[in-house]
Structure 1
Amino acid sequence: MIRLSTLLLCFCLLLSACTTAPKGPENAVNLTSQLEKVAQVQQWQMRGKIAFRQGKEAASLNLTWKNDSGDFGFRLTNFLGVSLVNLTVSEQKSVLEADGETYVNALPEPLIYQITGMVIPVESLLSWVKGLPIEGDKFTLTDKGLVDTLESYCPACRNWQVAYGNYGSVQMENGSSVWLPHSITLVQEEMPNIPQTQLKIKIYQWTL
């Protein structure tokens, strides 16, 4: 198993990125319309940084994530652009490449756990990164009507808590725009044999 500490140790790099955070809406948005638009976003790409912390182990890596209606590619690189983890997921199989080895499984979650020791709810995360709650989630709103925090209670989601920040307006293919988060923090409280897990995602660019 490749532990997080073998990937990269600079957890603080996520906090020192030299990019300007986008400004959110000046006026309150219509929540129903916002969530409908977010649900329509099925093809997207994001670029940014992701920081992991689990117990005493931490890592910060560059992130490129492409999604096409559930089939996706997820690549983590170091500051030199060297690929450290590359995950591709389709209906047929999930393939993860790391440390010169290739791992294959029907589902991505077992692969991620095998390599990092973390239980990541991938299917839910595809919605959560867009600021879209899934069925059963409890969520709060910002003063502008955007999703601010959410808590998941579905058994497969293992009680993750998600907090959002720095929403920016992103152009959609049909010419309209949608508000998408540029800062996301996910926390899973300590569980038997699994210490507290924290993921911080800072998104520099959304492409729809």
Structure 2
Amino acid sequence: MYFSQNLSFLHPAKGFLRLLPLSCLMLTACVTTSQNTTKGTGSASDAQWKTHQQELAQLRDYQTRGSFVYNGGETKTYAKFFWQQYTPEKYRLLLTNPLGSRELELTVEPDLARLTTKDGKTHMSDVPSELIYQLTGMEIPLDDLTSWLTGSPGRATEFTLDENHLLKTVMFEQNGEKWQLDYISYDNKTVPMLPNHLELRQGNRIIKLKMDSWTLKK
């Protein structure tokens, strides 16, 4: 498989690259109202948590957009993102530059991932996270991110809940590396309530996602 050189906008020489708002990709506008997570004693056996999980499992077609930060030491990125989920195994991720133009577009289907760069070149693989890493240097656990975006632990079995019976932290291990996912706040205007700020940490790697809006298709 051929991989191109690292995308220039993903490796700024100094600091983060600041981007302008991505108004052109806003399919349905809404203002999020945040509710911060607080330390709680929620149990995975709670009826409220089980009901919330059932509601999340019914989500099939949704979209969210916001800001994306990746700090891996030498690799630092700031971008606007647009995520469109079609089915549990089919989604699209778009990262844009200051003018709102495509810099990276990833489409994932069962057993096939396509990544298109700003020059129009397309690269394919059956492992989306490896495709992102080879082209950008960013290590992102994409296989689980589809669940974590909506506040579900996915395959992780070690997690805590806040006092509102929503996901607070997730601990997991991948390729011998221990990660921690922290939910900072939720959008209390969505039904079910969905995250609007989360952070992933592993060693010196930090991934931050802030969702400006959610669009849910019934």
| Alpha-carbon displacement from aligned partner over 1:122-166 (angstroms, at most 9, x marks no partner) | 12111011110123431112222211111113x458422111122
Contact 1:22 1:166 survives alignment (8 Å): no
Instruction: Tell me which residue corresponds to 1:160.
Output: 179
Cα RMSD (Å)? 2.8
Contact 1:8 1:78 survives alignment (8 Å): no
2:152 aligned partner, one-letter code: L
- Answering whether residue 56 of structure 2 is matched by residue 38 of structure 1, we say yes
Contact 2:156 2:170 survives alignment (8 Å): no
CA distance in 1, matches of 2:196, 2:77: 19
> Residues 77 and 165 of structure 1: is their aligned pair in 2 closer, same or farther, counting only changes over 3 Å?
same
> Residues 8 and 34 of structure 1: is their aligned pair in 2 closer, same or farther, counting only changes over 3 Å?
farther
Contact 2:149 2:195 survives alignment (8 Å): yes
Among 187, 193, 201, the alignment partner of 1:179 is: 193
Instruction: Tell me which residue corresponds to 1:80.
Output: 99
SS in 1 for 2:35: coil
> Residues 206 and 128 of structure 1: is their aligned pair in 2 closer, same or farther, counting only changes over 3 Å?
same
**Aligned-residue offset at 1:24:** 3.0
Instruction: Tell me which residue corresponds to 1:117.
Output: 137
Among 183, 187, 209, the alignment partner of 1:201 is: 209
Contact 1:2 1:115 survives alignment (8 Å): yes
SS in 1 for 2:92: strand
CA distance in 1, matches of 2:195, 2:13: 26
Among 94, 99, 107, the alignment partner of 2:127 is: 107
- Answering whether residue 83 of structure 2 is matched by residue 65 of structure 1, we say yes
Contact 2:187 2:196 survives alignment (8 Å): yes
CA distance in 2, matches of 1:78, 1:84: 6
**Aligned-residue offset at 1:12:** 7.1
Instruction: Tell me which residue corresponds to 2:23.
Output: none
- The alignment covers a number of residue pairs equal to 190
SS in 2 for 1:152: strand
**Aligned-residue offset at 1:23:** 3.4
Unpaired runs of 5+ in structure 1? 172-176, 190-195
The higher relative CO (CA closer than 8 Å, separation ≥ 6) is in 2
For 1:5-44, list aligned pairs within 5 A: 5-6=11-12, 9-10=15-16, 22-24=33-35, 30-44=48-62
> Residues 147 and 54 of structure 1: is their aligned pair in 2 closer, same or farther, counting only changes over 3 Å?
same
**Aligned-residue offset at 1:110:** 1.7
Please report the TM-score for the alignment, with normalisation by the length of structure 1.
0.80
Please report the TM-score for the alignment, with normalisation by the length of structure 2.
0.76
CA distance in 1, matches of 2:15, 2:105: 19
> Greater CA deviation, 98-107 or 177-186?
98-107
SS in 2 for 1:110: helix
